Structure 1
C-alpha cells in the first residue's frame, strides 16, 4: 500500500468541525484540529511541518475563532483564511451547502451534491 502525499492542510477548531468538512470535501486533505486553542510551541512545530503545503484556516465566527485566526495570521501569514457566514457562527452547525460553498471558493474540491 502506498502513502499519498497530501499537499493541502485545513486547520479547524474541533472534531465536529472536522467531521462537517469531511462530509463535503471530495479530495484528500489533511485536517488538523486545534481544539480551540494552540500553544506557541505547538504552532511553531506546525509551521515547520506545513511550510511547503497549502494551508487553510477555517474557524468559527465567534470570539474564540477570531482569536485563533489572529494567532495564525501573526505566526503563519502564508495561510489562507476561509470564513463562514456570521449568521451560522459555528462551522459544525453551518449547513453543508454553505460549508461546501466556502471551501470551493478556496479551491478545495467538494462533492457537487452539496452545491
Structure 2
C-alpha cells in the first residue's frame, strides 16, 4: 500500500528522531535519491538542516516536530506519494510494520471496499 519511497521516509524520520545515523541501511538509495528525499521532507517542514551542517546525511538533520506529532498524511503530502490500494495488504507488510500495519490494513480494506462499489456504469 505504501511506496518504497514513503516507507523510506518513515524510516528516515524514525532514525533522525532516535539519533541513528546509519542512513536507514535497509534502503539502498543513490546519492540523488537521498537528496530528493531530504529535499521533500524539508519542503514538507518535517525536517530541517542543522546549523553548520552539510546536507546529505541523517546526522545533518533534526525533526521540525516530535515524531509523535508527525502523521502518515504529513509524510504522504511531503513526498507527494499516492496510496496504492489496488492490492490487499501483504503478510510481509504486517511483519515489517507491526504496530501501524493494522491501521494501514484497515484503511486499505475500506478503500478497496468503497472502490469496488463504484461502478463504471454510474459515471
Q: Give the TM-score of the pair, scaled to structure 2.
A: 0.30
- Report which of the two has the higher share of strand: 1
Q: Give the TM-score of the pair, scaled to structure 1.
A: 0.31
- Report which of the two has the higher share of helix: 2
